[in-house]
Amino acid sequence: MLAIQAVRTGGPEVLEAVDLPVPTPGPGQVLVRHQAVGLNFIDTYHRSGLYPMKMPVVLGLEAAGVVEALGDGVTRFKAGDRIAYNGTLGAYAQAAVVPADRAVKVPDEVSLETAAAVLLKGMTAEFLVRRCHKVEPGQTILVHAAAGGVGSILVQWAKALGATVIATVGSEAKAALARGHGADHVILYGEEDVAAKVAEITGGQGVAVVYDGVGKDTFETSLKSLGRRGVLATFGNASGPAPAIAPLELGAKSLFLTRPRLFDYIATTTELDESAAALFAVLASGAVKIEVGQTFPLAQARAAHEALEGRRTTGATLLIP
C-alpha cells in the first residue's frame, strides 16, 4: 500500500512516498481501509521535530474508512463498518491497523470524508468549549485563527452555545469565512492591535476565554485581551511554541492558564465515545457545518504541508489515498 513517511526531521521535503505491506490486526485491533485522511497541524510538529518522533515514521493521526479485518477479541466493530479514528499514528496510508477502542462508528448520515475532516478538529473544539472552559450564553470569547480547521468549528460551536465571538484571522478572505460562521467581530491580527480592539468591543471588560492555537505570536495579546478571572487556553503552536512566563504575570487579573491536549480529554474509551456523540449531535443539529477547504492526493502530502504551514488553507484539509 502507499504510505507517506517522514524519513528524518525537517521541512515538508522529508516526506517520501513508500510502498509498505498492508498490516495485519493484532488482538484488539482492526484493519481500516482508508477513504480519507485528515491533515492536522500536529502532523507538521511530528515532521519538524517540535514533538520528537523516532524516524522514519508514517505520519498522520486521523482517518476514516471501512473495517476490513478484525483481530482477536474485537467486539466493538464488524467487517464492513464505517469508522474513524483520531489518535493513532500511521494515518498517511491507504490502510492502517488501529486499536478498536480508539475508533468510533461514523453515523450513516455523515460521509467518511466529513468524518476524516472533523474527528480530531471537532473533538478538539468539543473539549475546548464544553470542558476545558465551559462557554456560557452571554460570554464574549476570542478565537484565534478562526478560519482554520479547529477555529471554524470553535466559532460555530461557541455561537451555538450563545457566546459573542470575536475572531482573528490573517486575511480579508478568511475574515469573510469567519463572519459566515457567525463571528460577531473579526480582527485582522496582522494589521490591527487585537487587545485594543477587544477592549473597545467589550467596553474594557475583556473576554472570558481565549482559544489560542497560534501560540508564540498571539500569547501576549491573548493575556492582555482577557477579563478578570479569564481563561487562556493555549492549545497549539502554529506560529511556534508560546513563551515561558512567571505565575505572577497572571496575578493582575487572577487569570487561568492552561495548555490542554485533546488526548487527555478523550483518554478513556468512554470519554472518546462521549466526545464523538456530542460532536455528531452538533453536526446533525446543523449548528456546526464542516468545510473541507482543500483536498490533496495522499501522494502529495508534501504540498499539503506546505499549504498548511504557508497559511494558504481554510477549514479542514483532506488527503485522499
Verify binding: residue 40, ligand NAP, rule CB under 6 A.
Answer: yes
78 vs 312, beta carbon nearer ligand NAP: 312
Strand partners, 168: 187
Whole-number Å distance between alpha carbons of 39 and 122: 13
> Could you give the string, one character per residue 144-173, with x where binding to ligand NAP holds by CB under 6 A and - elsewhere?
-x-xxxxx-----------------xx---
Separation CA 28–CA 100 (nearest Å): 6
Applying CB under 6 A, does 309 fall inside the site for ligand NAP? yes
Neighbours of 312 (CB within 10 A): 12
Q: Does 41 bind ligand NAP (CB under 6 A)?
A: yes
Asked if 185 touches ligand NAP (CB under 6 A), the answer is no
Tell me how crowded residue 170 is: count the other CB atoms within 10 A of its CB.
19
From the CB of 46, what's the least distance to ligand NAP, in Å? Answer: 11
Kindly state the cell numbers that stand for 22.
498492508
CB of 100 to ligand NAP, least distance (A): 22
121 is a contact residue toward ligand NAP (CB under 6 A): yes
Q: Can you point out the beta strands (E) in 40-163?
A: 57-58, 62-70, 82-85, 95-99, 103-105, 140-143
CB of 48 to ligand NAP, least distance (A): 12
- The distance of closest approach from Cβ of residue 82 to ligand NAP in the complex, given in angstroms and rounded to an integer, is 23
Backbone torsions φ then ψ of 58, nearest 5 degrees = -80, 115
Cell triple for residue 317? 484539509
122 binds ligand NAP (CB under 6 A): no
Comparing CB distances to ligand NAP, the nearer of 38 and 90 is 38
Q: Does 211 bind ligand NAP (CB under 6 A)?
A: no
Minimum CB–partner distance for residue 73 and ligand NAP (Å): 29
Nearest distance from residue 230's CB to ligand NAP, in Å? 19
Q: Give me the least distance between CB of 148 and ligand NAP, in Å please.
A: 2
Of 196, 261, 270, 297, which one interacts with ligand NAP (CB under 6 A)?
Answer: 261
Residue 99 in the binding site for ligand NAP (CB under 6 A)? no
Any contact of residue 179 with ligand NAP (CB under 6 A)? no
Q: How far apart are CA 96 and CA 287, in angstroms?
A: 32
Cα dihedral across residues 5, 11, 13, 14: positive or negative: negative
The sign of the torsion formed by the CA atoms of 293, 296, 302, 303 equals negative
Measure the CA–CA gap between 277 and 289, rounded to whole angstroms. 16
- Mapping DSSP to helix (H, G, I), strand (E, B) and coil, where does residue 30 land? strand
Q: Calculate the alpha carbon distances from 80 to 50, 67, 106 in Å.
A: 37, 5, 12
**217 is a contact residue toward ligand NAP (CB under 6 A):** yes
User: Which residues of this protein are in contact with ligand NAP, per CB under 6 A?
Assistant: 40-42, 120-121, 124, 145, 147-151, 169-170, 174, 213-214, 217, 235-239, 260-262, 308-309, 311, 313
